[in-house]
């Protein structure tokens, strides 16, 4: 049994498990490509134009800078994306984040008072957006880059309606 099934109660049903939309990886991947090409170009230039000791020092410096930028601008955001989970079950909404330090939030379906979504032109092109969940006792919680946000909104709204007990014989 894998994550998120490990976090569920024995009779709890998983309805949706997703990571943030892949569009949040565009800049990290672009950085990876550009920095790697630039490091390769500079490495070739240094190899052709410098003496052996200077060449070795400059190549190690280029490698160190390349690795630092790669870890800072690409590896970190990719790990953040991979370690962020948005989960909907038949009882609650779970959000889990973090690589070294984990944080989590559970919202019981019965505590959700409203579900909204928002997305602009670019988000609509990528089929993503921001999901806003209103809880009966707190400020609304906003989650960015939810894939297929309109479908998730409809699913969550349906789950909240199903979880809400009906009164008065309706």
Instruction: Specify the CATH number for the domain of residue 133.
Output: 2.30.29.30
Q: Within a domain: residue 13?
A: no
Q: Are residues 138 and 91 in the same domain?
A: yes
pLDDT digits (tens, 9 = 90+) for 136-150: 777 889 999 999 999
Residue with tokens 């330090």: 101
Q: Within a domain: residue 48?
A: yes
The whole-number average pLDDT for the span 128-157 is 91
Q: Are residues 46 and 94 in the same domain?
A: no
Among 63, 80, 97, identify where a domain stops: 80
Q: Within a domain: residue 12?
A: no
pLDDT digits (tens, 9 = 90+) for 57-92: 999 999 999 999 999 999 989 999 999 999 999 999
Say what the pLDDT of residue 165 is: 60
> Mapped to the 3 state alphabet, what secondary structure does 76-96 carry?
HHHHHHHCCEEEEECCEEEEE
Say what the pLDDT of residue 135 is: 83
Task: Provide the number of structural domains found in the chain.
Answer: 2
Q: Within a domain: residue 169?
A: no
- How would residue 133 be classed by pLDDT, with cut points 50, 70 and 90? very high
At residue 38, does pLDDT exceed 60? yes
Q: Any idea what DSSP says for residue 52?
A: H
Q: Within a domain: residue 9?
A: no
Q: Which domain holds residue 116?
A: 87-163
If we measure between CA atoms, which residue out of 123, 116, 110 comes closest to residue 152? 116
Mean pLDDT, the chain, integer: 89
Phi, psi for 138 (deg, rounded to 5): -135, 175
Say what the pLDDT of residue 1 is: 46
Q: Which residues contact 164 (CB under 8 A, 6 or more apart)?
A: 109, 110
Q: Are residues 98 and 159 in the same domain?
A: yes
The whole-number average pLDDT for the span 110-115 is 90
Q: Computed over its alpha carbons, how large is the radius of gyration of the chain?
A: 23
* Rama region for 148: left / alpha / beta (φ>0; ψ in -120 to 50; rest): left
Say what the pLDDT of residue 170 is: 44
At residue 4, does pLDDT exceed 80? no
| Residue 103 DSSP SS3 | strand
Q: Are residues 92 and 144 in the same domain?
A: yes
Which whole-number Å values give the CA distances from 85 to 2, 7, 42, 92, 105, in the listed order? Answer: 13, 12, 39, 14, 11
- How would residue 161 be classed by pLDDT, with cut points 50, 70 and 90? confident
At residue 51, does pLDDT exceed 60? yes
Are 43 and 60 a contacting pair, CB within 8 Å? no
Among 34, 64, 80, identify where a domain stops: 80
- The answer, as to whether pTM is greater than 0.85, is no
Among 54, 80, 106, identify where a domain stops: 80
């Amino acid at each position: 049994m894998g994550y998120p099934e490990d976090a569920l109660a024995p009779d709890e049903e998983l309805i949706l498990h997703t990571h943030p939309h892949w569009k949040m990886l565009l800049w990290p991947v672009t950085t990876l490509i550009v920095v790697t090409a630039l490091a390769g170009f500079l490495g070739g230039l240094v190899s052709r134009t410098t003496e052996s000791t200077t060449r070795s020092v400059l190549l190690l410096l280029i490698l160190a800078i390349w690795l630092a930028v790669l870890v800072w601008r690409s590896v970190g955001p990719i790990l953040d994306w991979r370690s962020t989970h948005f989960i909907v079950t038949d009882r609650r909404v779970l959000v889990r984040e973090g690589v070294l330090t984990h944080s989590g939030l559970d919202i019981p379906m019965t505590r959700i008072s409203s579900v909204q979504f928002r997305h602009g032109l670019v988000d609509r092109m990528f089929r993503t957006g921001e999901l806003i969940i209103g809880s009966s006792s707190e400020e609304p919680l906003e989650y960015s880059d939810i894939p297929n946000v309109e479908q998730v909104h409809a699913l969550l709204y349906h789950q909240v309606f199903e979880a809400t007990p009906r009164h008065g014989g309706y």
